[in-house]
Each structure stands twice: as C-alpha cells, then as structure tokens.
Amino acid sequence: MSDSAIHALAGAAGGIMAMTATYPLVVLSTRAAVETKNHSKTVVQTVLDIIEREGPRALYSGLSSSLVGIAVTNGVYYYFYERSRGIILNSREGAKALSTLESMLAGLIAGSATTVISNPIWVIQASQAVHKSESDSRTSKNTPRTPGMLETVNQILAKDGVAGLWRGIGPALVLVINPVTQYTVFEQLKNILIESRTAKLRARGSKAVPVLRDWDYFLLGALSKLVATALTYPYIVIKSRLQVGQSQASKYKSSLHGLALILKEEGIRGLYKGIGSKLLQSVLTAAILFAGQRRIYELTKQAVASVSKPAALK
C-alpha cells in the first residue's frame, strides 16, 4: 500500500471520528446559515429549541450522508495532497518541508479535486440537515421525518435534475481556499514548532530529532482551522443556501452578487449567521482530525509493515 493511500485511509477514518463527535454543531451552523431572519438565540437556546420541537434525533439529521461525505472528502483530499506534496519535494533538492507557496499549491490541487467529487454528498447532507426546520416553519404539528439519502437524492433530481447535485459548486470551489489556508497555516506552524524544538535540542548538545505529540497536532489543527474558517465564513453561508436549494438563494446571480444581496437585506450579521457554532465545530473537528489522522496513519503503516515482512520472507 502506497504512503498516499495510507494517508487517505487515515484521513477518512479520522474524519469520521471527528464528524461524529461534533455533528450537532454542523446542524446548528447549517440551519443558522440558511435562515434569512435575524435571531439572537445563543447556541444553547437553539439546541433546546430544536430538542423541544423536533426531538434529540434532529441534532443528527443527515449524519449518515455527512459521514460518507467526510470519509470521501478527507480520503480524496489527503490522497491528492500527499501525492502533490511528494511530487513537489521530489522535483527539487534541499529542505524536505514545503514552503508557504508550495503548501498552497498542493492544497489547491487537492481541494479542487475533492470539491468536484464530493459536492453531491454535501448537497444531500445540507438538504437533510435543514429538512425538519423548513417543514416546521410551514406547519406547527406533525413535522415529517427526515428523508433518507436515496429519498433525498430522488427529491433533488425531481426538482433540479442532475445539475441539482452540484448546487453551490461555484462558492464551494472558491472555498477551496479554506483547506488551502488551513493546511498552509498548519504546515508553517508545524515547521516553526519543529525548528524551535530542534534549536533547543542543539543548544543542549543533543542530536535528537524532535517528534510532535498527539497534543501538538490537536492544537495545530485547531489553530489552523480557526484562521481558515474565520476568513472564509461568508462564502460558507452562500454555499449552504445554494446547496439547500433555498428559494432566497435562487436570486443570487453569482457568489459575489449573493454576498452583496445578503449585506443589503440582512446586514453584516447575515454574512456571519451561525459562525459561533461553526467555529466551535470546525476547530474541534480539525483538532480531532489532525490528531486522529496522524495516530491512525502511524498504526496503519506499522500494521502494513508487519504484514509485508512475513510475505517478503516467503
């Protein structure tokens, strides 16, 4: 098994673990992003309101499609990122760490491939996550159940055809800058931390190579995602509204027109609806993902090596 494939497998497994732990926050941020009315509810108040109106299961609406989505997204992203990283490093001599521009290039390639491949899954997930909320706004009782993945796909195809599965692909491609920013910040922070610890070891006369711990990856993942999400959140709002197929979003002629229209009709707050729960979810997810992916990668590599050795001796 290639190193890129192991990274992809570890990324998919780490993503599933992280998404399962933080999914209620995904539902909260998605619903807030597609809401055109201004509300001043806190995260806790929103959670209690959803539980009271729809039951606790509503906090996990669309979880199955989301787990498929995160597994595909992370698997594809890590595969293309590590392949691109390897090609870049092998194409030159010198330091075996990516520069800022090289990190951005690898992230751009991986992010673009991932977005095109995974967009249909996130359209399904977003539609499921807000289904009960939209139904509840039309009727106060007998709120219908959340449709399954296949049922949601059929509804999207019936309404918009195959193109409906790629709703929001424009802002989604713009949002490639989110993981690009995240992984670039992560790589540079990691390089700084390694250089700092190496310098301290050399100052003590040690030739040991510094090894980052799980906690280091957890913090680096959290910090890098915080920066990326804070910078790109208005486009996350646009993407969510388009993917859900919201009637208001049908007026958006382009991503920039959508941003201008939200600013005009809802004010600056409209561009940052749900950012509190989104930042919390994104930071926790990224922290768990980076720490989990690294650990799973190391364990998988050890397992593959141990299986390969006996085979090589035969």
Q: What is the pLDDT of residues 167-198, one digit of tens each?
A: 888 888 888 888 788 888 888 899 899 999 99
Q: What is the mean pLDDT of residues 220-227?
A: 87
**Is 133's pLDDT higher than 70?**
no
Nearest 5°: the CA angle 69, 70, 76 is: 90
Instruction: In whole angstroms, give the CA distance from residue 226 to residue 221.
Output: 9
Percent helix, strand and coil across the chain, each rounded to 5?
80, 0, 20
Nearest 5°: the CA angle 254, 258, 263 is: 150
302 or 243: whose pLDDT is higher? 302
Instruction: In whole angstroms, give the CA distance from residue 108 to residue 186.
Output: 15
**Is 166's pLDDT higher than 60?**
yes
Are 113 and 84 in contact by the 8 Å Cβ rule? The answer is: no
pLDDT score at 314: 54
Instruction: In whole angstroms, give the CA distance from residue 157 to residue 159.
Output: 5
Verdict on whether the full-model pTM lies above 0.75: no
Type of residue found at 132: K
Q: Nearest Cα to 226, choosing from 267, 189, 269? A: 189
Q: Nearest Cα to 27, choosing from 229, 277, 245, 249? A: 277
Q: What percent of the chain has pLDDT over 90?
A: 4
The answer for residues whose C-beta is within 8 angstroms of residue 94's C-beta and 6 or more apart is: none
Q: DSSP letter string over 102-165? A: HHHHHHHHHHHHHHHHHHHHHHHHHHHHHHHHHHHHH-SSSPPPPP-HHHHHHHHHHHH-GGGG
The three-state secondary structure class of 92 is: coil
Q: What is the mean pLDDT of residues 309-313?
A: 59
**How large is the C-alpha radius of gyration of the chain?**
21
Q: What is the mean pLDDT of residues 68-96?
A: 85
**Is 157's pLDDT higher than 60?**
yes
Q: Nearest Cα to 255, choosing from 146, 158, 167? A: 167
Are 29 and 277 in contact by the 8 Å Cβ rule? The answer is: yes
**Is 249's pLDDT higher than 70?**
no
Q: What is the mean pLDDT of the chain?
A: 82
pLDDT score at 139: 47
User: Using N-to-C axis directions, what is the helix angle for 275-313 and 43-54, rounded to 10°?
Assistant: 80
